[in-house]
Amino acid sequence: MDRIDRTKWMYDIGRTSTDYLKRLEEFITIAETDQLNKGSTVIICPCGKSFKDSTDIRNHLIINGFMRGYTCWSYHGESLTDHNPCSSDSNQLNEEDSYISDNDNFEAMFEDIEDNVDEKYHEKFEQLKVDSEKPLYNGCTKFSKLSAMIKLLKLKANNGWSDTSFTSMLELLHKMLPANNELPISTYYAKKLMCPMGLKIQRIHACPNDYMLYRNENENLHECKVCGTSRYKRGKPTDEDSDENGPPVKVLWYFPIIPRLKRLFANTKTAKLLHWHAEEHKKDGKIRHVAD
């Protein structure tokens, strides 16, 4: 089913309409099939809640609807690649070609940032280059340590695997591969390998119903000022120290814009493209570009 069509019935029509209820049954069928394939005792709702009976999830989706943007049902067995309109057989690469392409991309990336990397990150940058050239195991010609992790983490993202399940898979693959292989055995070390110079992320607690963020003057509140919903997944607040009240129900991951702009302009090739609108964009009254 096309993702645009899904957007129309999931978000643009009434949840009591015949079309919505019909399409909802199709989703329930897919969710039940995924439950059987995974051998699970519960069905995961798009909002993250678990239900033992399909009737409960059906009622929940009629009352509350689907979460925004969930047009690819990755939590229910679908892959993002199944909905990629640009994919075609002519664009598919065999494993050897893909490996070569990855290495070419690495070389271009390293050339771009080598002269601009901060001194405090230089050692990590050098290690990243080493990992891009190190074979996954002795005698391996198709995958480097870095390219293998890129492909595995891409699978994780496309299929919505949890960190726990991904770690279990890494541990199994590590045992299956030849001795002394370079594959990390946990999600934590896999991400550390991929992002040695990662930019900072701010994690801000949020109301589960999206009414407010727990920041600034609201930082020490335990309940939403609008809907009264608890900030935490379990229990009641014990005191003003939120760390002792369990994990938050919802967290906003905020990527500060200034460090990212600095990173973009540190790359001379990207910086030139970012200057295009100011320096090369023609302003003669004609419409030839989206900016016009």
| pTM for the structure as a whole | 0.41
pLDDT tier, 142 (very low <50, low <70, confident <90, very high otherwise): confident
Q: Is the pLDDT of residue 97 over 70?
A: no
Tokens representing residue 92 in the block: 């598919």
What pLDDT, on a 0 to 100 scale, did the predictor assign at position 205? Answer: 93
What amino acid is encoded at 58 in this protein?
R
Per-residue confidence (pLDDT) for residue 164, from 0 to 100:
86
User: What is the SS3 assignment for 50?
Assistant: strand
121, 113 contact by CB (below 8 A) = no
Q: What is the mean pLDDT of residues 215-227?
A: 90
Tell me the percentage of the chain whose pLDDT exceeds 70.
Answer: 74
Tokens of residue 244, six digits: 């002792």
Lowest mean pLDDT among 69-83, 119-133, 157-171: 69-83
Distance (Å, whole) CA 58 – CA 13: 16
CB-CB contact of 20 with 14 (8 Å):
yes
Whole-number pLDDT of residue 107: 56
Q: Which of 55-69, 73-87, 94-108 has the lowest mean pLDDT?
A: 94-108
Percent pLDDT > 90 in the chain is 5
Query: Is 96's pLDDT higher than 80?
Result: no
Q: CB 131: neighbour CB atoms within 10 A?
A: 19
Least confident of 115-129, 168-182, 211-225: 115-129
Q: What is the mean pLDDT of the chain?
A: 75
The helix/strand/coil state of 275 is coil
The tokens for 223 are: 């309940």
**Higher pLDDT among residues 66 and 100, named by residue:** 66
**Predicted pLDDT of residue 213:** 93
**pLDDT-derived band at 207, boundaries 50, 70, 90:** very high
Mean pLDDT value across residues 203-223: 90
Q: How far apart are CA 108 and CA 255, in angstroms?
A: 25
CA of residue 217 relative to chain centroid, distance: 30
pLDDT-based confidence at residue 127 (cuts at 50, 70, 90): confident
pLDDT value, residue 36: 76
* Confidence bin at 110 (pLDDT 50/70/90): low
In this prediction, residues 144-167 reach a mean pLDDT of 86
- Copy the structure tokens of residue 40: 């699970």
Which one-letter DSSP state was computed for residue 143? -
Poorest-confidence range of 54-68, 109-123, 168-182?
109-123
**pLDDT range class, residue 217, cuts 50, 70, 90:** very high
Give me Rg for the CA atoms of the chain.
24
Q: What is the pLDDT of residues 222-245, one digit of tens each?
A: 889 989 888 888 655 555 544 556
